[in-house]
Amino acid sequence: MTAEALPIPPLRRDDRGLPFVGRVLDYAKDPVGLFRHHYERYGPVAPWYALGRTSVMLLGPDACGEALQNRDKAFANGPAWSQLVGPFFRRGLMLLDFDEHKGHRRIMQEAFTRPRLESYTRRLHPAIETGLAGWNADREFPSYWRLKQLTLDIAADLFMGGAQDTSRAEMDRVNKAFIACVQAAAGIVRADVPFTRWGKAYRGRKVLEKFLRHYLPVKRAQQTDDIFSVLCHIETEDGDRFSDDDVVNHMIFLMMAAHDTSTVTTSTILQYLGQHPAWQERCREESLALGPEPTMAELEGLVALDLVMKEALRLRAPVPVLVRYTVRDTVVQGVRIPAGTSAALGLQFTHLMEDYWSNPTAFDPERFTPERREDRSHRFAWEPFGGGVHKCIGLYFAGLEVKAIMHRLLREHRWTVDPAYEPPLDNHSLPFPKDGLPIALA
Ligand code: HEM
């Protein structure tokens, strides 16, 4: 640490917001606007006040990059994320830190090798086909809600292996339990109080645990190609394996991590392709050149769709902010951050900075072509999957799932969205369109 490091700038009175809540409501209304305001006023390490405490925003790719690289091991995930998502995703990979995280990540990596991804891809297609079978032409098709159902159904099959002796009603209960856990992040009352988001999430976690523990013995006994079974059987070269508790904890976290993020991404792609018919056609041509159930390599070869997905992740990062907590004093961008400080890393803000992107709010997938590569303007300019040791372990799987869904949709449907449409986003947890993102589906 250098002696010249400056202290965090003091928070100005007019930036404190409401008592206790602080600027949480401003964040929910316009997160990027709030971050921009703080960046312009205070610089890349900016103070802000929310939920009874002053913490810091790390703004811009340099500040975010320093925290993600975490060279002095000052930034921890567990204490930060558990403040947000509560105890509902306890001991999920993202909430583990340092040596323990490394040990678990080494085991989990075995569930995301290329041969495993190839087998997940084969499993994706029938689940997508079944899910899309009920999509009919409609001028007011609530695409977000339908996609959410689709990704839940895919997860039930791919993660659970279909949960054979579970009825549709029970599966719906499990899905609701997941949603309750995910939505806890937005709770103002942060305790097990009935009818609050946190109260519902406490009950949700119990439902999920019971459900998974019911299936655990079968999954341990048989080796199948769903993720639940895979987590039960994987081991490292040194013979490290997950315990029963680990499997349950990782399953709950993985399903959460995989579900809403993929739904937001697919729905953003649907919106932009509906507003940009030329891009829709370009993607469709590539998909029509393949069969209905492309291999992993074929999905990776969908060049136009890949550009569109990258641009969708830039414009609407499903995880717009990452959180960290300092377990020791550190310095970011020349500013001293004391131990015990919560930090919010503004990934979405970086994605819209004019210093790194031309016309940043415009939909322009070509910015990712080899000739332009605007994402290379800075190593941390494009970070929808985070960076450093916690970088998303499911990023290749996410690409395959989103592309497999889009591939089938492009082959079977055409759709339009008003070019002037801007979705009213709910930013309480992951950004989702409150109106369900209606499209005209043909
Ligand atoms: C478009 C979809 C996705 C996006 C945008 C996304 C984004 C992210 C981000 C930003 C992180 C870093 C969190 C941090 O540093 O604190 C992360 C971590 C993680 N993601 Fe994803 N994710 C996606 C899909 C998935 C999928 C499909 C899976 C699993 C199948 C998954 C599993 C995980 C796990 C386990 C971690 C924690 C990694 C660690 O801490 O070592 N994600 N994800």
Answer yes or no: is the C-beta of 436 below 6 A from any ligand 1 atom: no
Q: What is the ipTM of this complex?
A: 1.00
Residue from 297, 221, 258, 225 nearest 93 by CA: 258
Sheet hosting strand 330-332, strand order edge to edge: 6-7, 335-337, 330-332
Torsion-angle region of residue 275: left (phi > 0), alpha (psi -120 to 50) or beta?
A: alpha
Residue from 79, 81, 64, 80 nearest 332 by CA: 64
Question: Taking the C-alpha atoms of 40, 45, 51 and 54 in order, what is their torsion angle to the nearest 10 degrees?
Answer: -110
Architecture of domain 6-423+431-441: Orthogonal Bundle (1.10)
Answer yes or no: is the C-beta of 261 below 6 A from any ligand 1 atom: yes
Å from CA of 399 to ligand 1 middle: 12
pLDDT of residue 190: 77
pLDDT of residue 262: 95
Å from CA of 114 to ligand 1 middle: 17
Answer yes or no: is the C-beta of 262 below 6 A from any ligand 1 atom: yes
Record the pTM.
Answer: 0.95
Q: What are phi and psi of 230, to 5 degrees?
A: -60, -45
pLDDT of residue 161: 79
Residue ID of nearest Cα to ligand 1 atom 39? 390
The domain limits of the chain are 6-423+431-441
pLDDT of residue 174: 80
Pocket test of ligand 1: the residue of 96, 246, 392, 402 to mutate, having most ligand atoms within 8 Å of its CB, is: 392
pLDDT of residue 338: 97
pLDDT of residue 186: 64
Answer yes or no: is the C-beta of 117 below 6 A from any ligand 1 atom: no
Residue ID of nearest Cα to ligand 1 atom 19? 392
Answer yes or no: is the C-beta of 257 below 6 A from any ligand 1 atom: yes
Q: What is the pLDDT along the chain (442 residues), one digit of tens a residue?
A: 445 899 999 999 999 999 888 898 899 999 999 999 999 999 999 999 988 888 999 999 999 999 999 999 999 999 999 988 878 889 999 999 999 999 999 999 999 999 999 999 999 999 999 999 989 988 899 999 999 989 988 887 888 876 666 777 877 788 788 778 877 766 667 778 888 888 888 888 898 899 899 989 999 999 988 999 999 999 999 999 999 999 999 999 998 888 889 999 999 999 999 999 999 999 999 999 999 999 999 999 999 999 999 999 999 999 999 999 999 999 999 999 999 999 999 999 999 999 999 999 999 999 999 999 999 999 999 999 999 999 999 999 999 999 999 999 999 999 999 999 999 999 988 899 999 999 999 9
pLDDT of residue 198: 86
pLDDT of residue 173: 81
Closest-lying ligand 1 atom to the alpha carbon of residue 95: 40
Residue 177 and residue 29: Cα distance in Å, rounded?
A: 26
The residue behind tokens 């469709």 is 284
- 3-state class of 313 per DSSP? helix
pLDDT of residue 289: 98
